[in-house]
Amino acid sequence: MNSNIKNIEIFELGSKGKENSSPWSSTILIARLTSNDGTTGYGEAPTTFSTMSVKESMEEVRRSFLGKDFFNVEKNLNDLYRDSFYLSKSFQHTAALSAFEIASWDMIGKELGSPVYNLIGGKMRDTVKAYANGWYSNCTTADQFVTRAKQVVAKGFRAMKFDPFGDAFDTISIGQLNNAESIVSSMRNQLGESVDLLIECHGRFSLNAAERVAKAMEKYNVLFIEEPLHPELEHALPVLRSKSKIPIALGERLLNKADFAKVISEDKVDIIQPDVTNSLGILEGKKIAAIADSFGIPVAFHNAFGPVQTAATLNLDVTLRNFLIQESFESFWPDWKAKLLKTGYKLESGFFKLSGKNGLGIEIDDKIMESSIVQGMEPYDPKEPPWVVSDTFKSKD
Q: pLDDT tens digits for 365-380?
A: 999 999 999 999 988 8
Q: Dump pLDDT digits (tens) for 188-202.
A: 999 999 999 999 999
- Do 142 and 226 belong together in one domain? yes
- Do 203 and 288 belong together in one domain? yes
Query: Which pLDDT belongs to residue 381?
Result: 87
- Do 94 and 220 belong together in one domain? no
Contact in structure between 362 and 311 (CB atoms under 8 Å): yes
Strands 159-162 and 341-343, by their bridges, are: unpaired
Contact in structure between 87 and 93 (CB atoms under 8 Å): yes
Is 202 one of the catalytic residues?
yes
Which is it for the CA torsion 100, 203, 87, 260, positive or negative?
A: negative
Candidate list 93, 202, 230, 235, residue with the active-site label: 202
Strands 224-226 and 248-250, by their bridges, are: parallel
In the predicted model, what is the mean pLDDT of residues 279-300?
98
Is 235 one of the catalytic residues?
no
Cα 235–Cα 237–Cα 241 angle in degrees, nearest 5: 150
CATH number assigned to the domain comprising residue 342: 3.20.20.120
Q: Based on the structure, what is the number of domains in the chain?
A: 2
- Do 108 and 124 belong together in one domain? no
User: In whole angstroms, what is the distance from residue 222 CA to residue 173 CA?
Assistant: 22
* Average model confidence (pLDDT) across the chain: 96
Identify whether 9 is part of a domain.
yes
User: In whole angstroms, what is the distance from residue 4 CA to residue 70 CA?
Assistant: 6
- Do 32 and 18 belong together in one domain? yes
Candidate list 93, 230, 235, 302, residue with the active-site label: 302
CATH number assigned to the domain comprising residue 17: 3.30.390.10
**pLDDT reading at 167 higher than 80:** yes
The residue count for the chain: 397
Q: Dump pLDDT digits (tens) for 380-389.
A: 888 999 999 9
CB proximity list for 92: less than 8 A, separation 6 or greater:
50, 53, 54, 56, 57
**pLDDT reading at 92 higher than 80:** yes
What is the span of the domain harbouring residue 98? Answer: 5-114
In the chain, the percentage of residues whose pLDDT exceeds 70 is: 99
**pLDDT reading at 36 higher than 90:** yes
Q: Dump pLDDT digits (tens) for 124-139.
A: 999 999 999 999 999 9
In the predicted model, what is the mean pLDDT of residues 1-21?
87
- Do 126 and 80 belong together in one domain? no
Query: Which pLDDT belongs to residue 48?
Result: 85
In the predicted model, what is the mean pLDDT of residues 272-276?
98
- Do 304 and 185 belong together in one domain? yes
